[in-house]
Amino acid sequence: MNVAKQEALARTTMPSLHFISRYSPAFPISLLLFVLLFTAANASAQCVSGDCRNGKGTYIYPSGARYVGEFQNGEINGVGVCYYTNGSKYSGEWRERFPDGKGTKTYSDGTKRTGLWKKGRPVDESGKVLEEYIVQKKEERVDDGTNIQSGCLLGDCKTGVGIFAYPDGSKYEGTFNNGKFEGEGKFWFANGDRYVGAFRDNYPHGQGTRILKNGTEETGEWRQGEFVGNALTANGKTGCVQGDCADGKGTYVYKAGSAKYVGDFKNNMPHGSGTCTYANGDHYEGEWIDGAFGGKGTLTQHDGTLVSGYWRAGEFLGKDKPADYQPFVSTDSPKLPVVDTTPAVELPKSKIWAVVVGVAAYDHMPVLRYTDDDAYRFYAFLKSLEGGALPDDQLRILIDEEATRENILGNLDEVFGMAGPNDLVLFYFSGHGLNGSFLPIDFDGFNNKIAHEEIAAAFNKTKARFRLCLADACHSGSLIAMRSGEPEPVLSQYYQTLAKSVSGTALLMSSKAEETSLESSGLRQGVFSHFLIRGLKGEADANKDRVVTIMELFQFVSKSVREYTGNRQSPVIKGTYDPQMPVAIGR
């Protein structure tokens, strides 16, 4: 058996089974804990008097708000009062840095609400969030996820044992080495999940358990933040353990027991019909081509999500059968591609102007894996013939340290300002988002957010006829809905005050406001960005006229993302745009 080819299969197929959440504070959390970089507590966030560890004291939030009350293990817990910077005040019970329990909120206009609160939001006796009340007072939320206590709450968060809290509500407790998670520790996610176990270089690494808020547990081996489960070995053996793993039927166990394949082989690779079980509990059954999912098959993830349909080179194509699908197609004599001689459609006297932003290496938010890769790939697409072969003066790319608030807004104004009346301007963002904002690299826990209204203002200034905003970010749906969990009527109300004011702009977001944008380590991309680029390259051209319109793009991306994620992520589109607005031209 060609071991190198078999290990290549493990690298090719295994990761495609694992989704990573583009982590967002109020959303369902992914199966993975992302890399977290830590810094000392914000200089403006500090205990100014009393005992802010286990007693009563006064604490200044990163926002400048002031809390006076009780603390436990360095965290705001108990009874206290907070004076917010807009003149409002909350007095009552607190839990884990949020207003939680009985309390009274006095708004800046003098009105009051006395009742129950949960995670900073007003709830009724049954615990149901009072959505209508939030809409009415949306400009004065008790806490939007960025005002809460953050930084090193207790102990030594550099080289020792300590507790470090983040502005999204998450928290780590355990050992640190050079400011990073190292050794044994615990991590509490904002949604109530937690991880307990070994860490290395900020990742869960080694033996550990992730406990979901519903009580479900994942216990086993973790490697660099990913759950790999427990080894699948056959009496301690790996490699070809049964049958003919070269050209026949056999069973092959991969290195360290990471996966076990049973089925047909050809040229030392899975080819034909077979099943592969992964150590983390995922399972694929169906057709294979040259060592990767190819043809018809079903992926069952360990959380029960089913991805069933057609695959090519390990990538999910969708539930619909491709026109060129043939069961067990041999690659010995590949078919020649069909050459389409239809002349390309050209846009008369129009140009594309674009600003592409990708942020992964956050200091004050969990680090993301593929957002910078997503931005580079989108940039490469725009530089290609398919993407318009944009010259450098029409295109800007800002990655990590270059993606500051000042640089992003400055480049938007500069690039969009050069567009003419028949041009298209495009803003692509891949990174973190909080309610109503995108987060640049210099987000410090409270300051330097880029409000969605500021993005809208940049679009409103341009003379361009066509305007397109693409965002693959957690809370990206809140560009329309403004906050997580909002029902459709609320989404529409906010949209009337923002998106509708940007005439001619299409807003294509990676997920609904109440959902999480997902990453796939198999695709090594955000799922939304992966299908977005594929759609722009021509797969979204439903009527085959060599022009991809914004509506064709949305329909392709929406269908593909929902199928790939088992309906856990649903892209959305809004705007006062022409559905036939061209966004890509066949070459």
Query: Which residues share a beta bridge with 426?
Result: 354, 468
Q: What is the pLDDT, as a whole number, of residue 128?
A: 85
Q: What is the pLDDT, as a whole number, of residue 349?
A: 56
Q: Which secondary structure element, helix H or strand E, spans residue 480, and what is its range?
A: helix 478-481
Pairing status of strand 249-253 against strand 66-72:
unpaired
Q: What is the pLDDT, as a whole number, of residue 75?
A: 92
Cα separations in angstroms, 555 against 417, 449, 474: 30, 31, 21
DSSP string, 527-553: HHHHHHHHIIIIIT-TT-SSEEEHHHH
Read off the pLDDT of residues 205-235 as tens digits, 9 standing for 90 and up.
889 998 888 788 888 888 767 777 776 665 6
Number of Cβ atoms within 10 Å of the Cβ of 485: 17
Read off the pLDDT of residues 437-458 as tens digits, 9 standing for 90 and up.
888 999 887 889 898 889 888 9
Assign 265 to helix, strand or coil.
strand
Q: What is the pLDDT, as a whole number, of residue 406?
A: 96
Stated pTM of the model: 0.63
Domains annotated for the chain, with CATH where assigned, are 3-19+232-318 (2.20.110), 46-140 (2.20.110.10), 152-224 (2.20.110), 352-585 (3.40.50.1460)
Read off the pLDDT of residues 514-549 as tens digits, 9 standing for 90 and up.
455 454 555 555 678 888 888 888 888 988 888 888
Residue 329: phi and psi, rounded to 5, are -70, 130
Q: What is the pLDDT, as a whole number, of residue 86?
A: 82
Q: What is the pLDDT, as a whole number, of residue 506?
A: 80
Q: What is the pLDDT, as a whole number, of residue 140?
A: 45
Q: What is the pLDDT, as a whole number, of residue 19?
A: 41
Distance (Å, whole) CA 420 – CA 354: 13
Q: What is the pLDDT, as a whole number, of residue 95?
A: 92
Residues in the chain predicted with pLDDT less than 50, given as ranges, are: 1-44, 139-145, 329-348, 475-502, 514, 517, 519
Q: What is the pLDDT, as a whole number, of residue 507?
A: 79
Residue 465: phi and psi, rounded to 5, are -75, -40
Distance (Å, whole) CA 502 – CA 479: 13
Read off the pLDDT of residues 548-578 as tens digits, 9 standing for 90 and up.
888 999 999 888 888 877 777 778 887 777 7
The single-letter code of the amino acid at 354 is: A
Q: Which secondary structure element, helix H or strand E, spans residue 178, and what is its range?
A: none
**Orientation of helix 371-383 relative to helix 527-534, angle to 10°:** 10
Pairing status of strand 517-520 against strand 19-22:
antiparallel
Read off the pLDDT of residues 119-162 as tens digits, 9 standing for 90 and up.
888 889 988 878 666 555 554 444 444 567 878 888 998 999 99
Q: What is the pLDDT, as a whole number, of residue 83?
A: 92
Q: How far is CA 65 from the centre of its chain?
A: 29
Q: What is the pLDDT, as a whole number, of residue 18?
A: 39
